[in-house]
Structures are given as structure tokens and as C-alpha cells.
Amino acid sequence: MLNEKIKKLRLSYNLSQVDLAKTLGVSKQCVSNWENDNVLPSIDMLIKLSRFFNVSADYLLGLDERTDLDVTGLTDAEIAHLKLLIEDLRARR
């Protein structure tokens, strides 16, 4: 499951394995191994991945399906607007 989360997040950010590897300071082979479930990332790398993708480690590990949205620096009105947008998107399902 962790391998699928990493790949899904990487693709949602429109990154290649090489791009993600450069960002995290690892080799492309390392990212490939994670995504192919050959090797698990270290705890330190799990933290880097969660910070980079702005998700919790629990989300990456499949313990929690909620994702967080960083709204730091936004006004209350902007946050309220985002909440309405999210509700509209959910209603369309």
C-alpha cells in the first residue's frame, strides 16, 4: 500500500521518478524500488515524503485516508471559500 501511495502522490504532483529522487536527495532507483515494493523507505525518508507531499505518515502507511490541506497564511474568508468548493466537489460525485 505504501508503494501505491508514493506513486499516486508522485503522479498527482506531475513528477517523474527522477524529479522526486532529486527533490529528496536519493537515486531514481531508490524511488523505483519504493514504488515496486522492493524496499521500504527509512523512517527519516518517510518523514521527508510526508512533508514534501503535505500528508501524514499515517496516510502514507494506509492507517488514515484523510489528507490535509495546508491553509497557512490564508484569510478566514479564503478558507471558507475553499470549504465551499470542497463541498461542491463532493456533491458532484
Distance between CA 66 and CA 75 in Å, rounded? 23
Distance between CA 15 and CA 24 in Å, rounded? 12
Residues 41-90 have pLDDT tens digits of 999 999 999 999 888 899 999 898 776 677 889 898 998 899 899 889 88
Q: Is the pLDDT of residue 22 over 90?
A: yes
Residue for grid cell 498527482: 12
Q: Where do runs of H (alpha helix) occur along 14-60? A: 17-24, 28-35, 43-53, 57-60
Average pLDDT score over residue span 15-20: 96
- Residue positions counted in the chain: 93
pTM listed for this prediction:
0.73
Q: Which pLDDT score, from 0 to 100, does residue 41 have?
A: 96
Q: Is the pLDDT of residue 34 over 80?
A: yes
Distance between CA 93 and CA 90 in Å, rounded? 6
Contact 50, 24 (CB under 8 A): no
Q: Which pLDDT score, from 0 to 100, does residue 52 have?
A: 92
Average pLDDT score over residue span 1-12: 93
Architecture of domain 2-60: Orthogonal Bundle (1.10)
